Amino acid sequence: MAREPFGTRLRSLRVRAGMSQSELAKKAGTDQSHVSRWERNATQPEVAMVERLAAALGVTDVELLTGQPPKPPKRTVRLTADNFAAHLSTDYAVSLVESFTVPEDGIDHHDWIVSKLLAWVERENARLPDVRYEISRHVAAVLLERLAGKR
């Protein structure tokens, strides 16, 4: 459905919804002749009408325009020093602190090592399709201190 012209998609979605052109027109606040012209690809509706057509069909405007259903939003998980290992492997974080000497006052949350861990978490977010991890600089610093202490 993604490579079809707009009118073909509109017709397919209307038929899938079990509506006639007249029913769709009434729900979208237009008349049947407009729906007929759009489905024949004779004309294109304006953006506001696309939104109303999509709502009447029970789809998003993105799906109506592109034929692609929207991607479901990623579930967000707020990482803490205590739950990090339950969600992501600690191998990379451990490798960061292997040759790192933790200062007496702890790892500063602006230190390069914290930035490296945060960048790795972002790469994992890009790789994972259904979840997005969030971690603060402070939590990352605490996690790295804990891992450094376990060496």
Q: Largest Cα–Cα distance in the chain?
A: 77
Separation of alpha carbons 143 and 83, rounded Å: 10
pTM over 0.85: no
State pLDDT tens for residues 16-41. 999 999 999 999 999 999 999 999 99
pLDDT tens per residue, range 105-122: 989 999 999 999 999 999
57 vs 16, 22, 132, 134, CA distance in Å?
9, 13, 31, 36
DSSP 42: S
Give the pLDDT confidence of 47-106 residue by residue, as tens digits: 999 999 999 999 999 899 988 887 788 899 999 999 999 999 999 999 999 988 888 898
Q: Can you list the domains of the chain with their CATH numbers?
A: 6-66 (1.10.260.40), 75-149 (no CATH)
pLDDT-derived band at 3, boundaries 50, 70, 90? confident
